Amino acid sequence: MTHSLLSDRLPSPPVGNGVRAVSPSPGSADATFFASGPDVIPAGPKGEFEGYASLFGVMDLGHDVVMPGAFRDSLEKRGTLGVKLLWQHDPAQPLGVWTSLQEDGRGLFVRGALDLAQPKSREILSLMRQGALDGLSIGYRTEIERKDPATGLRRLERIDLWEISLVTFPLLPQARVAKVKSATPPRRHPYFS
């Protein structure tokens, strides 16, 4: 099985002032699969995934760069459950909940759990396990920014984070799901043993 974690990827090329340009990122999901059927009860965690929703100092396709510390106030104010997990930024399509949102030295690292009682979440999990879907994208309001009039580059210094979506094409190509948690080996149903 081929896999690529975000930490294994090469950094984007620098464009100056500590900002890195957008570089294509193949992204893939790391998953393990087990047999299923009417006589198997899946055990263990399901629908869990993790990755980076934003990277510090990396320019996105809209010429925005998120700076370190930009999410700090918003995460303290809203908490993990105050930031919604959506499909393609659509507020009518929640998919589950974020279980962990934290800034680290690299960016905004996220862990989420899809609500597998919802058909759309099951469909998305299947696509993520195949590596067909792995984009992450943030929905926010800018509170403090600095714009360079010569280049049009906008440095986002404080962000009010509302939601993070699973998307097909993220504006920041490196914002990807890095791992889809594998289910633990299934146990046999006692009535079908």
- The answer to whether 27 and 169 are in contact (CB under 8 A) is no
In a domain, 161, yes or no: yes
Q: Domains in the chain: how many in total?
A: 1
In a domain, 103, yes or no: yes
In a domain, 28, yes or no: no
Strands 107-114 and 48-55: antiparallel
Q: How far apart are CA 84 and CA 43, in angstroms?
A: 26
Q: List the catalytic residue out of 4, 89, 103, 145.
A: 89
How far is the CA of 38 from the CAs of 45, 119, 183, 188, in angstroms? 19, 19, 17, 10
Residue by residue, pLDDT tens for the chain (193 residues) are 333 333 343 344 455 555 555 444 434 333 333 333 333 334 334 799 999 999 999 999 999 999 999 999 999 999 999 999 999 999 999 999 999 999 999 999 999 999 999 999 999 999 999 999 999 999 999 999 999 999 899 999 999 999 999 999 999 999 999 999 855 433 443 433 3
Q: List the catalytic residue out of 12, 121, 137, 165.
A: 137
Q: How far apart are CA 164 and CA 53, in angstroms?
A: 7
What's the pLDDT at 59? 97
Tell me the pTM.
Answer: 0.73
In a domain, 15, yes or no: no
- The whole domain housing 79 covers 45-181
In a domain, 26, yes or no: no
121 among known catalytic residues: no
Looking at residue 145, which CATH number applies to its domain? Answer: 3.20.16.10
Give the tokens for residue 54.
Answer: 């934003």
Q: How far apart are CA 84 and CA 100, in angstroms?
A: 12
3 among known catalytic residues: no
What's the pLDDT at 181? 82
**DSSP H stretches of helix in the chain:** 72-78, 119-130
Strands 154-167 and 64-66: parallel
In a domain, 69, yes or no: yes
What's the pLDDT at 115? 96
What's the pLDDT at 94? 98
- The answer to whether 178 and 50 are in contact (CB under 8 A) is yes
Q: List the catalytic residue out of 25, 48, 50, 163.
A: 163
What's the pLDDT at 26? 39
What's the pLDDT at 183? 52
Q: How far apart are CA 30 and CA 190, in angstroms?
A: 31
163 among known catalytic residues: yes
Indicate the DSSP class of residue 176. B
